[in-house]
């Protein structure tokens, strides 16, 4: 259901008074073959970390104004325009969500040796999809990244609480992943049918390999920098609300505020693994073992909260603690960090440029 109007006071941790900007009325004409009782959302990247959670959420019985919404897995590959167009014409979706693309394995460092392939899928493919959807008057939501910024002393210094807004242009190009995402985001501003959601360091309720918590728990050493992060159980329902309501443009897609690595790990220790210990290192020391740079930043969430006034969006520190409480209550077991760290150390001795292993958006 689209969010409805609410007073700014209903926001948790609202730091500024939201402008009079809320979800627009539902838009998107239904094509003649679509029964009015059913709307189809075509999902790219449905097997991935974020896409599989979006599929589950839609399949759990999402409705829009009383109309049942059904998720369909996209089969075409983003870079093959004819296949994409055929699929759009066959499925005739009401909305498209793209969570697909090359994200790098074992980390975003993986894209440093796959630059042309990443351009083809992530940049060219996404632009082809956006154009094909525009031609068919279909709105497209893109699960993108906020790792296109880094703290800067001039206007967004660390710890000041001044986050990057949707009007800011990318200022971090230290990895191919971030560079191409920043370029793409800028190009996507030309498409009036696209909603770009800037996700960062996603955390969810289990300890799967792509969960940001799992990544940093398994590293030998971690930096300790406050960052904006996205707790998926809080945020994905907002993605659907905005998608269904036809919101377009760029939206920072994180919980409000920042949390540091040590704060996340302390909560992991408190709720999941009392025996857990970890070491820190500096950004410079980290840079010596990575092939590419990593982004650290705070994103301003005023627009997200203003667009979704009736959804509760807790401050990131509260959100992460709630996540760990749910894990504890569900009996989630500690990660086997000793074996992983030993493997990580052994691999690091062989290929120092690609360690530590883990996923993207490693700080
Ligand atoms: N996970 C994170 O830490 C994180 C953080 C911030 C932002 N994001 C963004 O969130 C989005 C989703 O990330 P994710 O972590 O869920 O990715 P993921 O787990 O790596 O999954 C990628 C998905 O894309 C599909 N895919 C790959 N190449 C494709 C192509 N050519 N055409 C169509 N589909 C293709 C994959 O399907 P196959 O397996 O069939 O290839 C898979 O379903 C990405 O835009 C990413 O940049 C992720």
Cα(64)–Cα(104) distance, integer angstroms: 35
Distances from the Cα of 116 to the Cα of 100, 111, 121, angstroms: 17, 9, 9
CATH, domain range 38-204+230-259+295-333:
3.40.50.720
| Portion of the chain with pLDDT greater than 70, in percent | 83
Q: Is the CB of residue 232 below 6 angstroms from any atom belonging to ligand 1?
A: no
Exposed, middle or buried: residue 248 (CB in 10 Å: 0-12, 13-18, 19+)? middle
CA 47 / ligand 1 centre spacing (Å): 8
In terms of pTM, does the model score above 0.85?
yes
Q: Is the CB of residue 144 below 6 angstroms from any atom belonging to ligand 1?
A: yes
Query: For position 362, what pLDDT does the model report?
Result: 40
pLDDT tens digits, one per residue of 19-51: 334 555 444 444 444 445 689 999 999 999 999
The average confidence (pLDDT) of the chain is 86
Query: For position 67, what pLDDT does the model report?
Result: 84
CA 46 / ligand 1 centre spacing (Å): 8
Residue 293 confidence class, pLDDT cut points 50, 70, 90: confident
Cis peptide before 330 (omega within 30 of 0): no
- Among 103, 111, 125, 229, name the best residue to mutate to test ligand 1's pocket (greatest count of ligand atoms within 8 A of Cβ): 103
Q: Is the CB of residue 45 below 6 angstroms from any atom belonging to ligand 1?
A: yes
Residue 356 confidence class, pLDDT cut points 50, 70, 90: very low
Query: For position 3, what pLDDT does the model report?
Result: 33
CA 44 / ligand 1 centre spacing (Å): 9
What are the residue boundaries of the structural domains of the chain, listed by start? 38-204+230-259+295-333
Query: For position 87, what pLDDT does the model report?
Result: 98
Could you tell me what percentage of the chain is helix, strand and coil, using 3-state DSSP and rounding each to the nearest 5? Answer: 40, 15, 50
pLDDT tens digits, one per residue of 201-255: 999 999 999 999 999 999 989 999 999 999 999 999 999 999 999 999 999 999 9
CB 99 within 8 A of CB 144: no
How many other C-beta atoms are found inside a 10 Å radius of the C-beta of residue 280? 13
| Portion of the chain with pLDDT greater than 90, in percent | 74
Query: For position 8, what pLDDT does the model report?
Result: 25
pLDDT tens digits, one per residue of 335-346: 987 765 665 555
Residue 142 pairs with which residues in a beta bridge? Answer: 98, 196
CA 56 / ligand 1 centre spacing (Å): 16
Cα(282)–Cα(111) distance, integer angstroms: 24
């Amino acid at each position: 259901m689209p969010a409805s109007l609410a007073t700014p006071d209903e926001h948790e941790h609202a730091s500024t008074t939201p402008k009079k900007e809320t979800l627009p009325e539902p838009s998107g004409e239904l094509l003649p073959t679509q029964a009015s009782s059913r709307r189809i959302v075509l999902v790219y990247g449905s097997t991935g970390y974020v896409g599989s959670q979006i599929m589950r959420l839609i399949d759990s019985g999402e409705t829009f104004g009383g109309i049942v919404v059904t998720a369909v897995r996209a089969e075409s590959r983003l870079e093959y325009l004819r296949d994409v167009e055929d699929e759009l014409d066959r499925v005739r979706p009401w909305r498209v969500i793209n969570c697909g693309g090359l994200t790098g394995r074992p980390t975003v460092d993986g894209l440093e040796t796959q630059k042309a392939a990443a351009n083809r899928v992530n940049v060219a493919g996404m632009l082809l999809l956006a154009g094909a959807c525009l031609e068919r008057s279909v709105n497209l939501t893109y699960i993108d990244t906020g790792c296109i910024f880094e703290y800067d002393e001039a206007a967004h210094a660390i710890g000041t609480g001044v986050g990057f807004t949707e009007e800011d242009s990318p200022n971090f190009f230290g990895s191919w992943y971030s560079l191409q995402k920043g370029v793409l985001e800028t190009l996507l501003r030309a498409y009036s049918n696209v909603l770009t959601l800037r996700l960062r360091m996603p955390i969810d309720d289990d300890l799967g390999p792509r969960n940001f918590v799992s990544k940093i728990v398994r590293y030998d050493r971690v930096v300790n920098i406050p960052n904006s992060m996205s707790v998926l159980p809080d945020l994905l329902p907002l993605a659907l609300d905005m998608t269904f309501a036809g919101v377009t443009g760029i939206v920072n897609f994180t919980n409000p505020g920042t949390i540091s690595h040590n704060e996340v790990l302390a909560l992991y220790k408190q709720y999941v693994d009392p025996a857990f210990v970890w070491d820190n290192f500096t950004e410079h020391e980290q840079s010596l073992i990575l092939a590419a740079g990593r982004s650290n930043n705070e994103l301003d969430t005023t627009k997200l909260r203003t667009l979704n006034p009736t959804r509760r969006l807790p401050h990131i520190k509260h959100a992460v603690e709630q996540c760990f409480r749910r894990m504890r209550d569900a009996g989630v077991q500690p990660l086997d960090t000793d074996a992983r760290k030993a493997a990580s150390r052994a691999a690091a001795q062989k290929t120092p440029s690609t360690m530590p292993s883990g996923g993207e958006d490693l700080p």
